[in-house]
Structure 1
Amino acid sequence: MTDVAAGAQTRSKTITWQDPLPTARLGATMTGFEYMTAIAEGRVPAPPIAAHFGLRWEHIGHGEVVAVAEPDESLYNPIGMVHGGVAATLLDSVVGCAVHTTLPAGVGYSSVELKVSYLRAIHAGRGEIRATGRVVKEGSRIAFAEGEIRDAEGKLLATASGTCVITR
């Protein structure tokens, strides 16, 4: 063990969530907009991934969603910044959930492609980050959406374009 590692303080993080399967089954009986609104309002539990990132839904609209998170150092990569996979996951979430808000009850979606561009590093302790997803084109089998993440000052951190398959 190096001297730096020997002097490092151990930290821990506790994450709690509810069984996601009953919630997902309930969601299948609602339109995507109704389901996402119910999650945002706390009437149904958020998926477990939200607990990992401290994610909360700030806005749910038809074809557009906004999520807010405040990353902490438990999400750091080996070079001292939030791992790019966190940004990709947040972008995949808002892109997919934007598509979800356009779907009728009983219809699902799955990401089939996500292209992420990382523009600035994300660091803990610099305030909330805001991820926005919006549908660009919705078809009967495929939907296209875009996403972006901005920091507390409005600086653009990452962008994404995604494709979702619609499952009936």
Structure 2
Amino acid sequence: MTISTEPATAPASWGEPRSKTVYWHDPKIALAAAPGRTGLEFLTAMLDGEIAGPPIGGLLGMRPVSVGPGDIVFACTPDESMYNPIGLVHGGVACTLLDSAAGCAVHTTLPADVGYTSIEIKVTYLRPIHAHTGELRVHGWVTKPGRRVAFAEADVRDAEGALLATATSSCLILGG
């Protein structure tokens, strides 16, 4: 699938066009590996490369670094394709990273065949993120597990450990 937002004839003043190729694997195959696995087992299998990560990970270049009960860390290196009109990585990218980390942290606490969905997220942006910021570490952890609703927090830090954004999240537990 090729999607282009480049006009057929762009003015020379725009400079040379740039492109980015995104790869992902059929998410139905990974989902087929989920039944019978706890959330921790499923995400550990993803970390170990036994099953493919979700397509959003390919789009953002996000990859799992560590996973444990109620805790997960992702890494992502932003680039200029994520810029908003004022030359910063769009806040929606940070929000997506935070939502993923908080949700996956909740997922690690769930029994087999039980899912979740985000019902609320509050993001606080503390510092701008640029393409030259380098690798980001996104950490999510559960603050209160639950049978119907679970609560988690997450943060985004740069390679030096500077705090860039934080989030609090609520997730609805599905099934079980």
Q: Give 1:1-168 correspondences, 5 Å limit.
A: 6-168=13-175
* Letter of the structure 2 residue corresponding to residue 134 of structure 1: W
Segments of 5+ residues of structure 2 without an aligned counterpart are 1-10
SS at match of 2:37: coil
Task: Please give the root-mean-square deviation of Cα atoms over the aligned residues, in Å.
Answer: 1.2
Instruction: Give the structure-1-normalised TM-score.
Output: 0.95
Deviation at 1:37, TM superposition (A): 0.6
* Letter of the structure 2 residue corresponding to residue 161 of structure 1: T
SS at match of 1:86: helix
Residues 57, 66 of structure 1: 8 Å contact kept:
yes
Q: Which runs of 4+ in 1 moved over 6 A?
A: none
Deviation at 1:5, TM superposition (A): 6.5
Residues 91, 149 of structure 1: 8 Å contact kept:
yes
CA distance in 2 between counterparts of 1:29 and 1:36 reads 13
Instruction: Give the structure-2-normalised TM-score.
Output: 0.91
Identity of aligned residues (%): 54
Segments of 5+ residues of structure 1 without an aligned counterpart are none
How many residues of Structure 1 are paired with residues of Structure 2 in the alignment? 165
